[in-house]
């Protein structure tokens, strides 16, 4: 059996989740008549400390709708230089919301209030109007880094002091919650909008939920229709999210423990560099420069051992743990890396 560590998006619905999907009460989501969708949105809004929420097909749509509601074409959004907005959304901030991204020099995906202040533009007709600060928690390219609540609070204070709103890309927010012990609502109350992805650590096949104030969500609904995200009997998808909220949050701690075990097992391999202090949640990043092999070549060799990981650059590999990878799978992955690279 293949051990798929390419991403936590590779999770498959559990048997219990499939039963919940099959038995879900449904209705017309666009008309507000799907009880499963309504229940999911109410649950997530409460979880994130917001007034309302909106079920969407993907996390990217959550980000892009949020940018378009908060901003106007030509406005500037401040985000870390490694953010998902910049690297993995196909230029959508420019194409859909018409905004530009001003990059902040964070450390492992986390910037500081001083970085927001330093990026402030003068109030002149020649400069783009700054509207929004976006925080990615956990920070993917940072290695699954958890934002400390105090840092989020300081950034939010700096942003609002300059008249900017605060958005959180919470694709893996529940990983941050479990790893830090910080309630999701404590993060959420510092933000004007935020969302959680259902298809990563929570193990659902489809969907994400965007939360914010009632007026914000009302406008988000308009864009959901405009961009083709409105659905009909979407309760069969929302039911998976409800099941995940009940059964798949606390178990994220298992993924974090498995990532730590994997990292520890790879540290001693020839030419492999792993920063154990950077393994905070469910991601392990490896620098394979010293192996004499390129990351894509190592990835291909691992496939012969039924281990799937991703090459993020010519010299860097990412492995992501999730609910479909147990301890035995982690041990198999360590053995496969050892076979490919030599002990």
pLDDT on residue 207? 98
Q: How confident is the model at residue 55 (pLDDT cuts 50, 70, 90)?
A: very high
Region 297-314: mean pLDDT is: 98
pTM for the model stands at: 0.97
Q: Give residue-wise pLDDT tens across range 263-282.
A: 999 998 999 999 999 999 99
**Strands (E) located in the chain:** 3-4, 52-56, 76-80, 100-104, 130-136, 165-170, 193-197, 208-212, 283-287, 307-308, 310-311, 316-320
Q: Give residue-wise pLDDT tens across range 154-205.
A: 999 999 999 999 999 999 999 999 999 999 999 999 999 999 999 999 999 9
Its sign, for the CA torsion 288, 176, 4, 10, is negative
Cα–Cα nearest to 176, from 239, 109, 112, 116: 109
CATH of span 13-247: 3.40.640.10
pLDDT on residue 342? 84
In angstroms, rounded to a whole number, what is the distance separating the alpha carbons of residues 233 and 30?
Answer: 9
Same fold, 13-247 and 251-341: no
Tokens of 34: 């799907």
Q: How confident is the model at residue 307 (pLDDT cuts 50, 70, 90)?
A: very high
CATH of span 251-341: 3.90.1150.10
CA 3 to chain CA centroid, Å, is: 22
Strand partners, 103: 79
pLDDT at 151 over 90: yes
In angstroms, rounded to a whole number, what is the distance separating the alpha carbons of residues 121 and 78?
Answer: 11
Instruction: Break the chain into its structural domains and give their ranges.
Output: 13-247, 251-341
């Amino acid at each position: 059996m293949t051990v798929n560590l390419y991403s936590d998006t590779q999770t498959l619905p559990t048997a219990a989740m499939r039963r919940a999907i099959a038995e879900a009460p449904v209705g017309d989501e666009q008309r507000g008549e799907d009880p499963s969708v309504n229940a999911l949105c109410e649950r997530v809004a409460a979880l994130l400390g917001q007034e309302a929420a909106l079920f969407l097909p993907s996390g990217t749509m959550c980000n892009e709708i949020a940018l378009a509601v908060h901003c106007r074409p030509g406005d500037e959004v401040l985000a870390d230089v490694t953010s998902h907005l910049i690297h993995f959304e196909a230029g959508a901030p420019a194409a859909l919301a018409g905004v530009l991204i001003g990059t902040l020099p964070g450390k492992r995906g986390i910037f500081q209030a001083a970085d927001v202040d330093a990026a402030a533009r003068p109030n002149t007709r020649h400069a783009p109007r700054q509207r929004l600060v976006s925080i990615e928690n956990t920070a993917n390219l940072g290695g699954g880094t958890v934002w400390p609540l105090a840092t989020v609070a300081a950034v939010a204070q700096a942003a609002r002091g300059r008249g900017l709103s605060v958005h959180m890309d919470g694709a893996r927010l529940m990983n941050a919650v479990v790893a830090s012990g910080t309630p999701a609502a404590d993060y959420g109350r510092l933000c004007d909008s935020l969302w959680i992805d259902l298809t990563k650590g929570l193990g659902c096949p489809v969907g994400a939920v965007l939360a914010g104030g009632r007026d914000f969500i009302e406008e988000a609904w308009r864009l959901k229709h405009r961009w083709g995200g409105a659905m009909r009997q979407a309760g069969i998808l929302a039911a998976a999210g409800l099941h995940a909220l009940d059964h798949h949050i606390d178990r994220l701690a298992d993924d974090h423990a498995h990532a730590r075990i994997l990292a520890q097992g790879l540290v001693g391999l020839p030419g492999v560099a792993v920063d154990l202090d950077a393994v905070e949640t469910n991601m392990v990043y490896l620098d394979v420069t010293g192996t004499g092999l390129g990351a894509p070549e190592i990835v291909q060799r691992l496939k012969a051992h039924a281990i799937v990981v991703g090459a993020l650059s010519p010299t860097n590999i990412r492995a992501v743990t999730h609910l479909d990878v147990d301890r035995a799978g982690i041990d198999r992955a360590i053995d496969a890396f050892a076979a490919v690279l030599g002990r």
